[in-house]
C-alpha cells in the first residue's frame, strides 16, 4: 500500500503544463532589422549587462573566462531569462517596458543562427523534465516550446534530468553547442522559441508522459521588437558574420549556467 500511496502523491504533485503555440512568447528572429537596432543590441553592456545592473557580473565573468580560459560563471540568469521569454511577447509595449533581456535574447538568437549555418541537417534529441507533466490539448495542431530549450543528443543524459515528461524531438533549427559548452558531456542542442513542431505521439507509461515532436517550420509573432497582427512563418534568415559576433562569450553565458539545466522548464 505504501508504494502505491507514494506513487499517487508524486503524481498529484506534478504541475501540468499545456504544450501549445505559446502565444505570449517573445519569439523574435530579428530578420532585416535596422542596423541601429542591431548595433545597440550587439553591445549588452548598454542594456541588461550595463554597469550597476543586476547581471553585470555575469557578463564580466563570461568575458574573463574566455579571455583567460579559466574560472567559471555561477549564473542565476538562465531561469530568469527563460521565464521572461515565455511571457515577454504579450505586446510591443510589454516588450519595450518589461522585457529586460533585449540584448541577451538577440545574442542567443543570433548565436544559434551562426552555429546552425555551419551545421547540416536535423538532430534527433531528447529532453527530460522532472516535476512537470506536459499535456497536449490538441495533438493535431502545431506546438512550440516558446523559450530557449535545452536538449541532448544522448537519451541517457536527458533521462538524468527527469522522466516525468520525456520528449523525443527532431529539431531542424536547433543548434549543437557542444564545442562551446562548459558541460560538453551533456551533448547539448539548443532549440529556439520560434521553432514549431508537429505532435507525432503522446503516451502515458507508468504515470509518466512521453511526447514525440518533429520539426515543422519557424513561426514568430515578433520581428525587430514589434508584434505583428498574427503569427508569421519566416524563411531562413540571413546569417550573421561569426567573425564579429561574440559567440564564445554568449555560449558560455548559456552553458555555464547551472547544474541540471535540461530539467528546467
d(CA 100, CA 150): 21
The predicted model gives 180-200 an average pLDDT of 92
Is the C-alpha dihedral spanning 40, 192, 98, 75 positive or negative? negative
Q: How many CA atoms lie within 13 A of 51 on its CB side?
A: 0
Confidence of residue 51 (pLDDT cuts 50, 70, 90): low
The residue annotated as part of the active site, out of 113, 187, 188, 195, is 188
Judge whether residue 258 has pLDDT over 70.
no
- Is 0.95 surpassed by the pTM of this model? no
Confidence of residue 64 (pLDDT cuts 50, 70, 90): low
C-alpha cell at 197: 513542431
- For 197, phi then psi, to 5°, come to -130, 150
d(CA 6, CA 125): 31
Give residue-wise pLDDT tens across range 69-103: 433 444 557 788 889 999 999 999 999 999 988 98
Q: Has 86 been annotated as catalytic?
A: no
The predicted model gives 129-144 an average pLDDT of 95
**Is residue 12 packed enough to be buried (19+ CB in 10 Å), middle (13-18) or exposed (0-12)?**
exposed
pLDDT score of 263: 41
pLDDT score of 20: 97
Q: Has 127 been annotated as catalytic?
A: yes
The predicted model gives 21-46 an average pLDDT of 87
Confidence of residue 5 (pLDDT cuts 50, 70, 90): very low
The residue annotated as part of the active site, out of 48, 86, 103, 127, is 127
The residue annotated as part of the active site, out of 150, 215, 219, 220, is 150
Architecture category of domain 15-221 in CATH: Alpha-Beta Complex (3.90)
Amino acid at each position: 500500500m505504501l508504494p502505491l500511496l507514494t506513487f499517487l502523491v508524486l503524481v498529484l504533485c506534478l504541475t501540468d503544463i499545456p504544450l501549445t503555440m505559446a502565444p505570449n512568447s517573445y519569439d523574435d528572429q530579428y530578420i532585416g532589422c535596422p542596423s541601429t537596432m542591431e548595433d545597440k543590441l550587439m553591445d549588452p553592456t548598454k542594456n541588461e549587462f550595463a554597469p550597476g545592473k543586476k547581471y553585470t557580473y555575469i557578463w564580466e565573468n563570461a568575458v574573463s573566462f574566455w579571455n583567460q580560459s579559466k574560472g567559471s560563471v555561477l549564473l542565476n540568469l538562465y531561469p530568469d531569462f527563460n521565464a521572461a521569454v515565455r511571457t515577454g511577447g504579450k505586446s510591443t509595449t510589454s516588450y519595450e517596458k518589461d522585457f529586460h533581456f533585449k540584448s541577451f535574447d538577440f545574442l542567443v538568437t543570433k548565436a544559434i543562427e551562426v552555429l546552425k549555418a555551419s551545421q547540416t541537417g536535423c538532430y534527433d534529441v531528447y529532453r527530460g523534465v522532472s516535476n512537470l507533466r506536459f499535456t497536449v490539448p490538441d495533438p493535431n495542431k502545431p506546438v512550440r516550446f516558446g523559450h530557449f530549450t535545452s536538449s541532448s543528443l544522448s537519451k541517457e543524459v536527458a533521462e538524468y534530468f527527469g522522466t516525468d515528461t520525456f520528449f523525443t524531438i527532431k529539431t531542424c533549427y536547433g543548434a549543437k553547442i557542444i564545442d562551446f559548452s562548459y558541460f560538453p558531456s551533456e551533448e547539448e542542442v539548443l532549440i529556439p522559441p520560434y521553432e514549431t513542431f508537429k505532435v507525432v505521439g503522446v503516451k502515458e507509461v507508468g504515470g509518466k508522459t512521453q511526447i514525440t515532436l518533429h520539426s515543422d517550420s519557424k513561426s514568430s509573432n515578433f520581428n525587430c521588437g514589434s508584434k505583428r497582427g498574427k503569427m508569421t512563418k519566416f524563411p531562413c534568415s540571413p546569417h550573421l558574420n561569426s567573425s564579429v559576433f561574440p559567440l564564445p562569450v554568449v555560449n558560455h553565458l548559456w552553458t555555464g549556467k547551472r547544474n541540471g539545466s535540461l530539467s528546467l522548464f
